[in-house]
Amino acid sequence: MNGVTGRMGTNQHLIRSILAIRSQGGVRLADGGIIMPEPVLVGRDLGKLQALAAAHGLNHVTTDLDAALRDPANSVYFDAQTTQRRAVDVRKAIAARKAIYCEKPTAVDTATALALYRECTAAGLKNGVVQDKLWLPGLRKLKLLIDSDFFGGIVSVRGEFGYWVFEGDLQPAQRPSWNYRKEEGGGIILDMLCHWRYLIDSLFGGVKSVSCLGARHIPRRWDEKGRPYECTADDAAYATFETKSGIILQFNSSWVVRVRRDDLLTLQVDGRKGSAVAGLRDCWTQRAEATPRPVWNPDIEQAIPFFDGWQKVPEYASFENAFKIQWELFLKHVVAGEPFPWTLLEGAKGVQLAEAGQESWAKRAWVDLPELA
């Protein structure tokens, strides 16, 4: 596990996924067998690695990635490093013939991301990309509505994502400073449009084209050591997508927005027979026959309590951590060959959409997405 001393790597991948799997007694296979992952923590800072391992009773840490890859006991390589470092080390793992699982974006450009997929395929290696939001409770409830034809034909989708990331002078920032340096692989377009690609493809059909406007709203921030620096990457993106079936989606992604909505991410899906608003955990619906009839009159107080007209989708199942669910699926894929469609090709598609978004911003024009294979 390379690069798991960062916030996401530590919390979601190590503690809430791999250690949670170990605590439950491993991953059970259909034939009764058990997969028990044994993590090896890899990184550049030995002190951080040792502290993380000690905190969770782990024994294997190293700053020597090459040695870890040479060890035949290590069969899976996982990468949660910064984006710019990923391709070099994934290629080392390919050469060592390890199964590959990595965070997104899988690379900083489409050509490299697609090459990683093709190199894994040519070597016959199992591979995958993290696409965690597919297993969020709110979005699984939304998928249930779509599969049951609740909407009667989807007309449009509006996505709102983000929160205020403090600049770092008066309050510590909640995101690392490299996120705001383009030269270090930062920027919200590269970060979030990779997510929106797999969400749109999975829920609403393949993305056909994109129109995107990026912005750098806050030009100066303070890093982890309290030093001021100039931001060179976009901190907000305003994008419109069109799917192959003609659905229009508008997504605002921002690290400079204060939240006044149900959650940090909300998707409003409108259809002829009904609408739904999904957050990270909950999903609310309003059927066509229950839709109120408002009248535009700003001279009087609004008489309709709009929020009261929505119904919450029941908790129809017990939902586990989204990262853990996908980790279990990938481990089953590696050990037992169970299907795992979220390959590095899907990761390349995410990078393709991000790169198209950046091109759209530069050209101030719609950009079509060709098929990748």
Q: How far from 373 is each of 104, 275, 346, CA to CA, in Å?
A: 18, 34, 10
d(CA 354, CA 189): 6
pLDDT at residue number 63: 97
Residues of the chain with pLDDT below 50 are none
pLDDT at residue number 152: 97
Model pTM score: 0.95
Residues 69-96: pLDDT tens digits? 999 999 999 999 999 999 999 999 999 9
d(CA 252, CA 268): 12
Peptide bond into 298 cis (omega under 30): no
d(CA 70, CA 86): 18
Contact by Cβ (8 Å): 61, 51: no
Backbone phi and psi for residue 229, each to the nearest 5 degrees, phi listed first:
-145, 155
pLDDT at residue number 373: 84
Q: Give the angle 75-103-81 at the CA atoms, nearest 5°.
A: 85
Gyration radius of the chain's alpha carbons: 22
Backbone phi and psi for residue 160, each to the nearest 5 degrees, phi listed first:
-125, 120
pLDDT at residue number 111: 97
Contact by Cβ (8 Å): 88, 81: no
* Domains (range + CATH), the chain: 7-133+322-347 (3.40.50.720), 134-317+352-363 (3.30.360.10)
Would you state the torsion angle of the CA atoms of residues 263, 265, 270, 274, taken in this order, to the nearest 10 degrees? -40
d(CA 232, CA 107): 19
Chain centroid offset of residue 212 CA: 19
Q: What sign does the CA torsion over 134, 74, 100, 11 have?
A: positive
Residue 298 burial (C-beta neighbours within 10 Å; 0-12, 13-18, 19+) = exposed
Would you state the torsion angle of the CA atoms of residues 195, 245, 284, 17, taken in this order, to the nearest 10 degrees? -30
